[in-house]
Every structure is written in C-alpha cells, then in structure tokens.
C-alpha cells in the first residue's frame, strides 16, 4: 500500500515539475526579473543577492532570467528532437515489424549501424557534418532517437500482428496499410507515449551535453548546457561557482520531472514495458 | 551455440561496413566543398587543390570509398590537419585512457549498483531503500558533465583532496570514474532491486526459507544467482552509455581520451581525426556488444538461439 502511494506520488511530483517548467517557458518574459541578454560588465560574477537571486555570469547577465528563458530553449529542443525521432521512427518501425522479410532485415541492419554509435556520439557525428548550432543540434538529437523508436514500435507491432483482431481484419480483405493505421497503431499508443516522455528527459540531457561541449546552442542564446559550459570555460568555477551550479540544477530538475512522469505513465499504461523502457 | 556465435559474427559484418560508410561520409557530406573545409578559410587555391588531390576528393565517390577502405585495412586513416601526425597514432594513443576510464567505471557501477540493489531488495520500504532509490533518481537525472563539475568543485577546489584534471596516478582516476559511473550505478541498483524483489516472491525462495536457511544465504545464494541473468543484460547495455558518457566526462576532467579528441577535432575542423576517432569508438562498441552477446550464451543456458 505504502509502495503504491509512493509510486503514485512520485508520478504526480513529476507531472508538477514538468508543468512548472512549461509555465516558466510560456510566461518567461513575465517571470524573468531582467533581460536575459543584457550584459553589464560592472555587475559581472556577482554572487546570489536580493538584486540577483541566482547571481550574474561573466558578462553580468542575470542568471535567474537566463535560466527561465533557457527553459524555452531546452523544451523546444527536446520537443523538436523527440518529434523527429517519433515522426521518422514510428512509421519505419511499424512497416518493418508488420511486413517483416527483406524490408525488416534491411531496416534492422540500418538500425544496427546507427546504434553502433553509442548514445550522444551519433548526435556528435551529425553535428560534425552539419556544423554546431541550435537547429543542427536538435536535428542531430532527433536523428539519434530514430533507432530507439524503430526498435520499440517494431517490437510492439511484431506482437500485435499475430493477434486475432488483426487476423479478422485481414480476413475481411483490409489492406496492410489500413490494418496498420486502424488496428495496430491505436494499440501502440501506450508504449509510444511512455517512450516519448522518457525520451524528453534524454533529449534535455543530450541537448545540454551538446551545448556544454560548444556543439549545440551558441552564445548568447540562454541554453542551460551552454551556460554551464561558458561558466566553466571562463574559469569561473573557482571565483563564481554559482554560474556552473544553477543551470545544472535546472537541467537535473527538468530531467527528473520527465523521468518520474515517464515511469508513472509506464506503470499506469503498460506495466509490461518495465525493464524494457 | 557455435551456430549462434557464427551468425552473430556474420551480423557484425554489415554493421561494420555501414559504420565505415558513415564515417567515410563525414568528410564528403560536409556542406560546400570538403577540400575548402579541410584547408581552412585562409588557404590559397593551391593548398586547396593539393588537399583535394591528397584526399582523393577529385575522384568519383565509389573509387574514393574503395581507396578509403584499402587505406583502412593498411591502418592508414590519413594525417591530422592540426598536428600532421598519422591519425592512427593519434587515435590509438587516446583509446587506452578511454578504455581505462570506461572499464574502471563499469567495475564501480556493477559493484556499487548490485550491492545497493540487493540491500534495498532485502530490506524494502526502509530508510535505506527509500534513500538509495532517491539517490538513484538523482543519479539518473543529473547531467554527467554537471555532476563532474560539482564533484570537482567539492573535492578538488574546496577540499583539495583530489586532482581536478588530467591523467596520472590512480588519484586522477577517482573523480572521472565516479562521475561516469553514477548514472550506471543508479540504473543497475534500481534494476537489481526490482528483479530481486520479483525473485524473492518465487516459491523456491519460500522453500529455501522453510528449510530454515539463513536469510543471508537465501538472498545471496538462491535469489541473487537467479536474478543475475537479467541483471547481466542491463550491465551489457550500459557499455554504450559509458562510452557516450565518457565523451562528456573526458571533456570535464581534461582526460586525454578519444572522446575529448573527437570534440577538440570538431572544434578545430580536423576532420580526418574526427573520422578516425569516431570509427574507433564505434568499432570498439560493436566488438564489446559482440563479446557481451556471446557471453550471455555461456552464462545463461536458457537462452534461445533462433
């Protein structure tokens, strides 16, 4: 009983955290006390104080305002890269799983190749080709999410295509595409929702990682990872540690929110995904 | 088993081939003219032409690929633009520190993760259980580079106990490997706990307890040895996460590994080195996965080879 309650509470906590970040992104101009881009060298590297609740960075910009506006950048990057993975990976996975045979073989080998570049490395390869920047980083993270969607959706479809209702639809002479769209996909919604929520967490982490490495959002864009990287590069970790501490807290909180929500959704929608997602 | 091993080996061939094509493509897919990109902004027309000929960029693409593969099998990945050293030399000398960091982190992650997971499962819904699972959530959510910087801030800059950067004696290894291991410790601990809890509900555990065995023996001998197989699967999957995390960790701690080489080379537009380093990481990863898959067969007699 206690266990159930805690699980439930954690999922709600996750939803609240996500909601808080959404609100921060939507109302950033009203919530931020100052202009996130306005620098003033006289105010540089100020520790947290009543005037600057989280202090200022190496150009004297208000850190709290930058973090609040950074919510927009990070959430936008996450939504778009998850969107790319979803839009490309879902149909490919569905077709691959449903038709099997040579289509499946070729698709799976391509997925193998993409998965040979572990984690963020595939995104780094894409950035190496396209060049650093906010949009290229989104595209890069999106591309590196494609194989995961292909694998998860394919797995779900493989299981579903043997079920009676698919058999029944086929017996009525329905086309393959009709069966996929009308009968199979509605049953794949649960794993896709769970995966997408958890991928939001990864997307925020990876986008921030690219930003930190200087391969993602470029200054002066207030992106959490890039802010942290700038804080480190300008040797400020010693003199102004708050510049490296706070953006990281924002990243960790946002990731925690999506992870908790994703875990909760998984347990509620499809407990069999436990251990797989 | 032998048949499975051969099949698995054969499947690695198209993967490696595809990896080589993708890596080959890095240089050719650069927007604009790759030779100009390689030569840099201020290069004269002659330099650009020389680089174009040197890299065979004036030939048709399939011949370029064949030449690339021929060179690859001779261990020739071209020369670094920055240092003019052979790429192979540069990359191989950086691979060892990366493998060292990854291996140490893996050992750390498995030891800590399994121990914490087993204790949590043995004493579920206690303070230790909630505390460690909360810690695991934080470990999974904190970005690896931030965690590294925070540890550096605390243990090197504030307390002065450990060196902040570079590679040397084992004290240099502590902060980077703890940083890199953190998310894997968290994941392995969570997974060990849930697997153990499931196993502990089985009937043979009830039998073992009914026989009057000591609880420690029931947990370690009867439950853990059966829970180990799914746990090993998760451990095998962590290699990718560790290699990926190493890219970021190496950059935080100025660890002279191949991940740092990739990032530095991208910033310096040293594309031959980017190619070589990326190729090396991907090939190592394919081989690690191959070994892990084959080991499952040895560890788990129940595995089906179809």
**CA count, 13 A, side-chain hemisphere, B24:** 20
Label residues B22-52 b or e (16+ Cβ within 10 Å = b).
bbbebbeebeeebbbbbbeeeeeeeebeebb
Which of B25, B152, B248 faces A209 most closely, judged by CB atoms?
A: B248
Which residues between 77 and 136 in chain B have a beta carbon less than 8 angstroms from any beta carbon of chain A? 124-125, 130
Strand partners for B186: none
The answer to whether the CB atoms of B15 and A113 lie below 8 A apart is: yes
- For B212, residues 6+ apart whose C-beta sits below 8 A from its C-beta are none
Confidence of residue A43 (pLDDT cuts 50, 70, 90): confident
pLDDT at residue A90, rounded to an integer: 94
* pLDDT at position B213 over 90: no
How do residues A95-143 score in pLDDT, each as one tens digit? 999 898 899 999 999 999 999 888 889 999 898 888 888 999 999 999 9
d(CA B34, CA B284): 27
pLDDT at residue A107, rounded to an integer: 92
Tell which of A116, A130, A144 to mutate to test the B interface (max B CBs under 10 Å): A116
Give chain B's mean pLDDT.
85
* pLDDT at position A46 over 80: no
The answer to whether residues B252 and B148 touch, using CB atoms and an 8 Å cutoff, is yes
Omega cis (within 30) before A220: yes
Confidence of residue A5 (pLDDT cuts 50, 70, 90): low
A212 close contact with B: CB closer than 8 A = yes
* pLDDT at position B209 over 60: yes
* pLDDT at position A184 over 90: no
pLDDT at residue A82, rounded to an integer: 96
Structure tokens given for B106: 């893996």
pLDDT at residue A142, rounded to an integer: 95
pLDDT at residue B83, rounded to an integer: 82
Residue of A nearest to B286 (CA): A116
Listed by start position, the domains of chain B span 2-73, 96-299
Q: Percent of chain A at pLDDT above 90?
A: 39
pLDDT at residue B114, rounded to an integer: 93
pLDDT at residue A4, rounded to an integer: 65
How do residues B123-151 score in pLDDT, each as one tens digit? 888 899 999 988 998 899 999 999 999 99
Which residues between 223 and 242 in chain B have a beta carbon less than 8 angstroms from any beta carbon of chain A? 230, 234, 239-241
- Other Cβ atoms within 10 Å of A3 Cβ, number: 11
Give chain A's mean pLDDT.
86
Q: Which residues of A touch B241 (CB under 8 A)?
A: 118-119
DSSP-based three-state secondary structure for B79: strand
pLDDT at residue B101, rounded to an integer: 93
Which of A109, A201, A228 faces B14 most closely, judged by CB atoms?
A: A109
The answer to whether the CB atoms of A130 and B243 lie below 8 A apart is: no
A232 vs B186, higher pLDDT: B186
How do residues A146-162 score in pLDDT, each as one tens digit? 999 999 999 889 888 88
Please give the radius of gyration of chain B, using alpha carbons only, rounded to the nearest integer.
24
* pLDDT at position A277 over 60: no
CA distance B220 to chain A (A): 22
Listed by start position, the domains of chain A span 76-276
Residues in chain B, total: 306
What's the average model confidence in pLDDT over A168-175?
A: 85
* pLDDT at position A212 over 60: yes
* pLDDT at position A167 over 80: yes
What's the average model confidence in pLDDT over A173-185?
A: 86
What's the average model confidence in pLDDT over B114-124?
A: 91
pLDDT at residue A235, rounded to an integer: 65
The answer to whether the CB atoms of B263 and A274 lie below 8 A apart is: no
Confidence of residue B227 (pLDDT cuts 50, 70, 90): confident
A277 vs A44, higher pLDDT: A44
Q: Which residues of B touch A131 (CB under 8 A)?
A: 31
* A80-94, B49-63, B284-298: which is most confident: A80-94
d(CA B194, CA B202): 13
Structure tokens given for A130: 């396209």
How do residues B157-199 score in pLDDT, each as one tens digit? 878 788 877 787 888 888 999 999 999 999 999 999 988 888 8
* pLDDT at position A1 over 60: no
A215 close contact with B: CB closer than 8 A = yes
Task: Give the fold, CATH level 3, of A76-276.
Answer: MetI-like fold (1.10.3720)
* pLDDT at position B306 over 80: no
Q: Measured between alpha carbons, how far is residue A195 from residues A90, A270, B148 in Å?
A: 11, 11, 27
* pLDDT at position A171 over 80: yes
Which of B147, B239, B247 faces A124 most closely, judged by CB atoms?
A: B247
Please report, to the nearest 10 degrees, the dihedral formed by the alpha carbons of residues A13, A14, A18, A19 taken in order: -30
* pLDDT at position A236 over 70: no
Which of B125, B251, B263 faces A2 most closely, judged by CB atoms?
A: B125
Confidence of residue B156 (pLDDT cuts 50, 70, 90): confident
Q: Judge if pTM exceeds 0.90.
A: no
ipTM of the complex: 0.87
Please report, to the nearest 10 degrees, the dihedral formed by the alpha carbons of residues B167, B172, B178, B184 taken in order: 20
* pLDDT at position B99 over 70: yes
Domain B96-299 has CATH 1.10.3720.10: yes
């Amino acid at each position: 009983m206690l266990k159930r309650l805690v699980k439930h509470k954690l999922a709600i906590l996750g939803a609240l955290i996500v909601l808080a970040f959404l609100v921060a992104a939507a109302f950033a101009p009203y919530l931020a006390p100052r202009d996130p881009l306005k620098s003033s060298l006289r105010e540089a590297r100020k520790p947290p104080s009543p005037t600057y609740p989280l202090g200022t960075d190496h150009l004297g910009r208000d850190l709290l305002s930058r973090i609040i506006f950074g919510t927009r950048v990070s959430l936008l990057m996450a939504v778009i890269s998850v969107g790319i993975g979803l839009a490309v990976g879902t149909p490919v996975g569905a077709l691959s799983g449903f038709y099997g045979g040579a289509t499946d073989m070729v698709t799976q080998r391509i997925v193998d190749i993409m998965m040979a570049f572990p984690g963020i490395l595939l995104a780094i390869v894409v950035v190496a080709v396209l060049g650093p920047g906010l949009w290229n980083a989104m595209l890069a993270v999106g591309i590196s999410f494609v194989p995961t969607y292909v694998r998860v959706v394919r797995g779900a479809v493989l299981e579903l295509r043997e079920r009676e209702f698919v058999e029944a639809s086929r017996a009525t002479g329905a086309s393959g595409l009709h069966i996929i769209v009308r009968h199979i996909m509605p049953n794949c919604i649960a794993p896709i929702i769970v995966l997408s929520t958890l991928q939001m967490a990864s997307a925020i982490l990876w986008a921030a990682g690219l930003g930190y490495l200087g391969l993602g959002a470029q200054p002066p864009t207030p992106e959490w990872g890039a802010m942290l990287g700038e804080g480190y590069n300008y040797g400020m970790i010693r003199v102004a540690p708050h510049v490296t501490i706070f953006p990281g807290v924002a990243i960790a909180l946002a990731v925690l929110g999506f992870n908790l929500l994703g875990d909760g959704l998984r347990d509620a929608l499809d407990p069999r995904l436990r251990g797989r997602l | 088993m032998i048949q499975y091993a051969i099949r698995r080996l054969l499947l690695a061939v198209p993967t490696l081939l595809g990896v080589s094509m993708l890596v080959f493509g890095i240089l050719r897919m650069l927007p604009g003219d790759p030779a100009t990109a390689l030569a840099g902004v201020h290069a004269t027309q002659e330099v650009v032409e020389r680089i174009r000929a040197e890299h065979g960029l004036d030939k048709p693409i399939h011949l370029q690929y064949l030449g690339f593969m021929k060179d690859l099998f001779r261990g020739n990945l071209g020369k670094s633009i920055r240092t003019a050293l052979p790429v192979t030399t540069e990359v191989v000398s950086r691979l060892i520190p990366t493998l060292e960091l990854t291996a140490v982190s893996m050992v750390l992650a498995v030891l800590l993760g399994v121990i914490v997971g087993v204790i949590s499962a043995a004493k579920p819904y206690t303070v230790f259980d909630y505390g460690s699972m909360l810690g695991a959530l934080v470990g999974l959510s904190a970005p690896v580079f931030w965690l590294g910087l925070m540890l550096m801030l605390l243990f090197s800059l504030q307390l002065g106990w450990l060196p902040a950067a570079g590679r040397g004696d084992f004290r240099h290894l502590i902060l980077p490997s703890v940083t890199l291991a953190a998310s894997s410790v968290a994941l392995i601990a969570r997974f060990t706990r849930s697997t153990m809890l499931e196993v502990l509900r089985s009937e043979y555990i009830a039998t073992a307890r009914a026989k009057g065995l000591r609880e420690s023996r029931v947990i370690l001998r009867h439950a853990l040895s059966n829970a180990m197989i799914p746990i090993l699967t998760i451990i095998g999957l962590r290699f990718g996460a560790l290699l990926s995390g190493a890219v970021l960790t190496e950059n935080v701690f100025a660890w002279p590994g191949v991940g740092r080489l990739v990032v530095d080379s991208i910033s310096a537009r040293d594309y031959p080195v980017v190619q070589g380093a990326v190729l090396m990481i991907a090939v190592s990863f394919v081989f690690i996965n191959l070994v892990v898959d084959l080991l499952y067969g040895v560890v788990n007699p129940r595995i089906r080879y179809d």
